[in-house]
Structure 1
């Protein structure tokens, strides 16, 4: 009756109901059941419900259940949060269902990373583990799946699949559907890949030859523009080929790559030199009405194939051991260091991760002016290398 007759006042007030339970009456007339208790030496509150939807009897029963959890050594608030979480989880505990759930929960992953993980799971894991209950999968079963891929000499893919499966299993552990990650015992059981180094040209004279060769490319205009644009921005190949017109602010001379496209999941700004802007202006009448700057030859709705730039380099006479699309990054890094630019500016421009969070914030905030100067100086340097070795031209500056 006291709860039913409780009137709102200027300030919130409480009506005690015994053993820590009380009704919290708010100035707007709302009435909430709360339970006060101590956990680990600190006072905490447990929200039980809204009166009159939750009656005094129901609130008292909830209080008694919470006190029972306290006696058993459990924090009732944490238990409530876990219950909310598990209520949202799939009741299907097969490996495939939990793997899909894990992928959906990883909003921090770049789209390309998410797609690659989904493809690897569907191709190499689901046919053998997909329908298995996740708590029944043994370390030996996972190893057998990985051995199939390892037998094809796909060593890097094998290690990557082990990492992805491990993340799925650890997600199941974190959500209370598994006790341990069976992949944790696989360390040392698989072949390790040698460090991969992308072929790159770093000798200035040979870089000049490469720039002249690119200018002389006689293939499709979109491919030629991609070849000319790549050394000017030295982004990752996937970022280049998936570039969209809406990401470019040509007036501000910058390319704003969203976090979903970046390997590290952090948005990236690429300052554009006047030479880079000129390439885009040349290409805009051809592809500017579509989504992608460098669309696929087969369909303008899709981005350029991941092998297009490398294939163009092969057509120019550069083999896989000479130069790759990814090699423009190490080419720029090496020569920019030799030119005297700071490592912080170069690493930030390469969008490499910074493990120190304070320094990372500084890099994002403070190096853009320096990077703008650096990117223009880099483009001018490439132009100078391009004309060297042509005696009929006079090198200026």
Structure 2
């Protein structure tokens, strides 16, 4: 097969697509990739010559990360992003027989596929993205089903206000009929759910046939840097702290570090996109850049993180307790699942303090939680990308 894979967003949105690309290539298929420009070099390290799409989500240091765009600037940015997707995907998919888009903001994938008469698949990374009476948009599981569906109707109208005209303008360029509901079009009637069924079970989805493959995990064999290896081996297992691609501030990082210290643990601080820094040079903490979480997490006492799908899954597979500090999107959902499964605790970002994080850590470090995390690790599968590749072969090869 000749397959185009599109990943748009932060590392958590792009990495699963790369995992599927590697799996498909190993099976002998011709794979093309569209990724944001800040991931081109990283993807190139896997031997893929990718096409840039969208914007670099990571603001360069010293840039305008603190400025708030005007409403007109936001409208222009959205217009550019939607049109750019149509232009880039239409060009990159020449000769392809199938398009796979990762994430809920793939505005062009289905329209381009429709215009070329080829199939497409949209894969989502969290159950909470699926319209369901079991949860509100971006919310935790539960609540009144009727009220939840009303909120989904409101969410659909909000999508139409932001994107419908733009998507229809681009569909018109392709000679396609206009849409009346952009959210349902983007998600499709048969989306795939690239999330582990133990961590993120499939909710009820009226009107949709959802295929759950399991999480698309990119294998990582990179060894730990010598300084980190030496730090980890020098004492009792430390606590990992990191917020990934989130725009956390320095105060948040220092608050969590002090909380970890207050419960008597050493700290591995991941700088992340926020470039978190240390407040002192004490020997009980080390700051690191990008790291192989698959190698590090089995050797820590707990993982404190933002609640992204990828980090939650990696920590669960490592059998290590977690403390989540959800900020937005699907992160509150993963926090609720970690609590429900007995894998740890969560602290809302608005309630972040040394005391609140320390209290959550005491829960996560209890022997019963550590034992539960270790016992559940074997239930969290790592073969989702292989499952997805086999399905693509069966359905479309």
TM over 0.5, shorter chain? no
Query: TM-score, normalised to structure 2's length?
Result: 0.29
- Give the structure with higher Rg (CA): 1
Structure showing the higher helix proportion among its residues: 1
